[in-house]
């Protein structure tokens, strides 16, 4: 296992280029199941989770080659099972469920099980597929879905779910007749998937809003597509510039995906300028306490909550962070506390009192974004921090230590 060792105190300066979006790459890889033939996906981030999704497709019989540009040949798919040992390492593997049922009429996908941040059920995915005529059985920890041909249906999601909306959009694309997904997730990655499905010949209207209409077609053809940038990676580097009091230009990001994050950061007293060249973040001023509630897009993203907790800890006063999406997404708190933070968690609410003078320590990463928060605290801490189990980071950040070192951080990866 690797660890990352950081000597804190350096102000980050310079430019950083954002990679392709993890949470767009994963559904796009799964969507190749729908077309047969050879799909080409460009600007793919070099992440552990992308590798896992490629392995899931290979497990089905597809041929996947390349790294930043993936070639996926899916005509050779001849198996319809996503096994437990892959799904348990990455719950997004469940994204093969909709495409397999839609194109092959069958799928056997391990239930993802919970993860560090919550139970994360997939009941909405299954409810929607059943509404489209799929027979769903739960056997020995697997979902077994079958249907000769899905038929269009109206699905009202009880809760806005990103991968649920994606699974149902992909399934409905090849269903017979018209479908409507109500209370759909509005995330940019949902919109990106709809964009690619429409390039494949699907007829999807309203992606990016809470009501998505899909006119089913008989088949879809392979495409070539370059993925949108990762708004959460961009937000994480914005936070890194802010907490170190640095001056960083974040390039290759889409401003319209970061409006709430930019506004929240400006409200905390960070100078943020945004133009066609990217997002400029200049820290160093006095930080003001913040009141933050995570919401489905376009609200404040849950994937940025841990990073903003570090910013809140440095602010002068009491901040309130409310996590409404996941039931256990304060795993970063115990470790930040060991580095000197003053955080009091009451259920879904964390009260953060600052200013904190973070101290270096040996800490343990627990989930992807919690690990990012530990790195941010380490960048500003007095002394040296050792973040262990950084495979959590590698799931969602492409060579984060190289990008941070280029910005002047004293950071290195070590083998443990
Ligand atoms: C996606 O997860 C992202 N992952 C997550 O990013 C992100 O945190 C999350 O959306 C919320 O924005 C990918 O896109 C691969 P949800 P997803 O279904 O789709 C409940 C990261 O750090 N729910 O939108 O699994 C669920 O328990 C990862 O990159 C049901 O109850 O999240 C949660 O409380 C972490 N039933 C809420 O909805 C369902 O059928 C939102 O979950 C589905 C979800």
* CA-CA-CA-CA dihedral for 157, 41, 96, 392, to nearest 10: -90
How many Å lie between the centroid of ligand 1 and the Cα of residue 92? 9
The pLDDT score that the predictor gives to residue 388 is 96
Domain 2-18+229-415 has CATH 3.65.10.10: yes
The pLDDT score that the predictor gives to residue 337 is 98
How many Å lie between the centroid of ligand 1 and the Cα of residue 130? 20
Nearest-atom index, ligand 1, CA of 369: 22
The pLDDT score that the predictor gives to residue 120 is 82
Which residue among 115, 147, 157, 253 is the active-site one?
115
Query: Which residue CA neighbors atom 24 of ligand 1 most closely?
Result: 161
Query: Which residue CA neighbors atom 30 of ligand 1 most closely?
Result: 121
Rounded Cα distance between 100 and 231, Å, is: 29
pLDDT tens over the chain, length 416 residues: 899 999 999 999 999 999 999 999 999 999 999 998 999 999 999 999 999 999 999 999 999 999 999 999 999 999 999 999 999 889 999 999 999 999 999 999 999 877 778 878 999 999 999 999 999 999 999 999 999 999 999 999 999 999 999 999 999 999 999 999 999 999 999 999 999 999 999 999 999 999 999 999 999 999 999 999 999 999 999 999 999 999 999 999 999 999 999 999 999 999 999 988 899 999 989 999 999 999 999 999 999 999 999 999 999 999 999 999 999 999 999 999 999 999 999 999 999 999 999 999 999 998 999 999 999 999 999 999 999 999 999 999 999 999 999 999 999 999 98
How many Å lie between the centroid of ligand 1 and the Cα of residue 91? 10
Active site residue 115: yes
Query: Which residue CA neighbors atom 38 of ligand 1 most closely?
Result: 161
How many Å lie between the centroid of ligand 1 and the Cα of residue 283? 31
Domain 22-226 has CATH 3.50.40.10: no
Query: Which residue CA neighbors atom 10 of ligand 1 most closely?
Result: 162
Rounded Cα distance between 392 and 374, Å, is: 12
Which of 161, 328, 372, 392 has the most ligand 1 atoms within 8 A of CB, as the residue to mutate?
Answer: 161
Which of 325, 332, 395, 398 has the most ligand 1 atoms within 8 A of CB, as the residue to mutate?
Answer: 325
The pLDDT score that the predictor gives to residue 334 is 97
* CA-CA-CA-CA dihedral for 394, 398, 399, 401, to nearest 10: -80
Which residues does a 6 A CB cutoff place in the pocket of ligand 1?
22-23, 26, 92, 118, 120-125, 159, 161-164, 185, 302-303, 325-326, 368-369, 396
Query: Which residue CA neighbors atom 25 of ligand 1 most closely?
Result: 163
Closest CA to 321 of 339, 305, 310: 305
The pLDDT score that the predictor gives to residue 115 is 77
How many Å lie between the centroid of ligand 1 and the Cα of residue 162? 6
The pLDDT score that the predictor gives to residue 133 is 98
Nearest-atom index, ligand 1, CA of 126: 40
The distance from CA 175 to its chain's CA centroid, rounded to whole angstroms, is 27
CA atoms within 13 A on the CB side of 183: 11
Nearest-atom index, ligand 1, CA of 118: 27
Closest CA to 39 of 163, 189, 199: 199
Question: What does the block give as tokens for 397?
Answer: 């950040």
How many Å lie between the centroid of ligand 1 and the Cα of residue 7? 34
Rounded Cα distance between 51 and 53, Å, is: 5
Which of 162, 297, 324, 330 has the most ligand 1 atoms within 8 A of CB, as the residue to mutate?
Answer: 162
The pLDDT score that the predictor gives to residue 276 is 83
Closest CA to 11 of 237, 240, 306: 240
User: What are the angstrom distances between the C-alpha of 230 and each of 56, 255, 280?
Assistant: 22, 11, 16
The pLDDT score that the predictor gives to residue 118 is 82
Q: What is the pTM of this model?
A: 0.97
Query: Which residue CA neighbors atom 9 of ligand 1 most closely?
Result: 162
Contacts of 30 by beta carbon, 8 Å cutoff, 6+ apart:
53, 57, 95, 96, 99, 170
How many Å lie between the centroid of ligand 1 and the Cα of residue 190? 12
φ, ψ for residue 59, nearest 5 deg: -60, -30
Query: Which residue CA neighbors atom 43 of ligand 1 most closely?
Result: 122
Q: Angle, nearest 10°, between helix axes 97-104 and 162-173?
A: 10
- Environment class of 119 (CB within 10 Å of its CB; exposed 0-12, middle 13-18, buried 19+): exposed
Rounded Cα distance between 122 and 128, Å, is: 10
Instruction: Give start-end residues of each CATH 3.65.10.10 domain in the chain.
Output: 2-18+229-415, 22-226
Rounded Cα distance between 182 and 233, Å, is: 29
Quickly count: other Cβ atoms within 10 Å of residue 342's Cβ: 14
How many Å lie between the centroid of ligand 1 and the Cα of residue 410? 34
């Amino acid at each position: 296992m690797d660890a990352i060792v950081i000597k804190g105190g350096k102000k980050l300066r310079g430019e950083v280029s954002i990679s392709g979006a993890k949470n767009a790459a994963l559904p796009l890889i799964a969507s190749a199941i729908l077309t047969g033939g050879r799909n080409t996906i460009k600007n793919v981030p070099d992440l552990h989770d992308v590798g896992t999704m490629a392995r899931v497709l290979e497990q089905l019989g597809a041929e996947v080659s390349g790294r930043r540009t993936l070639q996926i040949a899916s005509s050779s798919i001849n198996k319809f099972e996503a096994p437990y040992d892959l799904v348990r390492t990455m719950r997004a593997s469940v994204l093969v469920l909709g495409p397999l049922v839609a194109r092959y009429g069958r799928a056997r996908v391990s239930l993802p099980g919970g993860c560090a941040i919550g139970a994360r059920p997939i009941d909405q995915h299954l409810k929607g597929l059943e509404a489209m005529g799929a027979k769903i059985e739960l056997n020995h920890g697997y979902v077994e879905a079958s249907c000769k041909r899905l038929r269009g249906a109206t699905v009202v999601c009880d809760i806005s779910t990103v991968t649920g909306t994606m699974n149902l959009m992909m399934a409905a694309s090849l269903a017979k007749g018209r479908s409507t997904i109500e209370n759909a997730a509005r995330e940019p990655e949902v919109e990106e998937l709809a964009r690619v499905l429409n390039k494949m010949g699907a007829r999807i209207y309203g992606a990016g809003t809470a009501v998505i209409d899909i006119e089913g077609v008989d088949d879809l053809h392979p495409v070539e597509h370059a993925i949108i940038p990762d708004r959460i990676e961009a937000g994480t580097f914005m936070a890194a510039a802010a907490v170190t009091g640095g001056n960083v230009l974040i390039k290759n990001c889409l401003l319209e995906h970061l409006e709430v994050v930019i506004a929240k950061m400006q409200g905390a007293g960070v100078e943020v300028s945004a133009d066609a060249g990217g997002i400029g973040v200049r820290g160093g001023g006095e930080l003001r306490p913040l009141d933050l509630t995570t919401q489905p897009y376009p609200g404040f993203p849950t994937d940025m909550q841990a990073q903003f907790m570090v910013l809140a800890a440095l602010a002068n006063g009491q901040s309130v962070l409310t996590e409404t999406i996941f039931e256990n997404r304060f795993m970063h708190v115990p470790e930040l506390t060991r580095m000197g933070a003053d955080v009091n968690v009451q259920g879904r609410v964390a009260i953060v009192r600052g200013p904190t003078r973070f101290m270096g320590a040996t800490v343990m990463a627990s989930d992807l974004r919690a690990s990012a928060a530990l790195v941010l605290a380490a960048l500003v801490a007095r002394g040296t921090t050792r973040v262990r189990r950084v495979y959590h980071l590698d799931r969602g950040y492409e060579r984060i230590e190289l990008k941070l070192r280029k910005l002047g951080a004293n950071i290195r990866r070590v083998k443990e």
